[in-house]
Amino acid sequence: MGIYRSEIVNLRKKLGENISQKIIVKESPGKRSKPQEKSAIIENTYNSYFRVKFVEANRVGSYNYTDLFTGSVEVSMYNGESFEPLVQPQLEIKKNKVQEEVLVENS
């Protein structure tokens, strides 16, 4: 399953509509390390990445939109009551070769 350009455009639009919104960024620094969660505010969006300002450590960070789809970075947005994941995990449906052949024959 690939990442489509339209998905990235929709994600960029959603982040752009929520500039200055409070978020939680969860990133994994490595295989054996524990994921780190940091509070941040969406600062700006660009064509291939977005920029956040971290609340606790007066610094900024940037992330690619594709990082959200691959799961290397998770972002949860504050909706007024709680934090909800920005990108919902998608189940990948695997087809075996026999199923694909049957679909082609029936077409």
Judged against a pLDDT cut of 80, whether residue 25 lies above it is answered with: yes
pLDDT surpassing 50 at residue 93: no
- Predicted pLDDT of residue 66: 86
Of 85 and 92, more confident: 85
* pLDDT for the residue numbered 44: 95
Domain 5-106 CATH assignment equals 3.40.47.10: no
pLDDT at 92 over 50: no
Count of CB atoms situated within 10 Å of the CB of 52 = 21
Residue 94, CA distances (Å) to 11, 36, 71, 106 in order: 25, 31, 19, 19
pTM of the model: 0.72
